Structure formats: C-alpha cells, structure tokens
Amino acid sequence: MNINTSLSGIKNAFYRQDITANNVANINTKNYKQVNVINQEAKGGGVEAKTTVSKAAPNRNGNNVSLADQMVNQISNQDQNKANVNVIRAQNEMIGSLIDIKA
C-alpha cells in the first residue's frame, strides 16, 4: 500500500486542471496554441504529466483551442481526482481494519 501513488495522481489531476483552465482563458487569444497533457508512468510508481503543444489547425481566431476538448478534460480531471481520493479512503479503511484485528 503506497499512498504516494494516489497522491501523485491527485497532484497530476490538479496540474491538468490548471492547464485546462489556461487553455479556456486563452480561447480568444490570437495565435495561442492549446497545451495538451499526457499522463505517463513516473519512475518509482505513480503518474506524472508531460505537456505538448497542439498541432491542430487554427480556428477563426488564429488559435487552436477546442472548448469541447477542454470540457471533456475538466470532467476527466474531476474523475481522476475522485478515483485517487477513493483509493486513499480504501487504504485508510484497510489500515483501520488491520489495526482492529491486531488490537
């Protein structure tokens, strides 16, 4: 049971949410390029983020931010956070049960 794996997932979800918010904030910024976040396995366990600049074709504003993609990212980030919090809760309950058994 390594809580650091879940904590890295929570940290990653918050980082992804920051990137998504930045993309939405720049939706009308001329020539802005959407930043995408890719999850990858971290050394020693857990997850880390890799950012890339989107190569999608520009829209009428000259940028390539897709509001639909950003909405999907926000929902995905929330789900990722909830899943990792649930893992931490389950680990806490298991440790509590083990302590009760040993006591």
**pTM given for the model:** 0.80
Query: What's the confidence (pLDDT) of residue 33?
Result: 94
**Contact assessment for residue 10 and residue 85, using Cβ atoms and an 8 Å cutoff:** yes
Specify the DSSP element, H or E, that contains 81: helix 67-102
- The domain ranges of the chain are 3-102
The tokens describing 58, both together, are: 């520009």
**DSSP letter (8 states) at residue 96:** H
Tell me: the pLDDT tens digits for 36-75? 999 898 888 888 889 999 999 998 888 999 999 999 999 9
**Contact assessment for residue 81 and residue 10, using Cβ atoms and an 8 Å cutoff:** yes
Q: For all residues of the chain together, what is the average pLDDT? A: 89
The tokens describing 68, both together, are: 């639909």
Q: In 3D, which of 4, 21, 5 has the Cα closest to residue 78?
A: 21
Which residue is it, tokens 């997932």?
A: 9
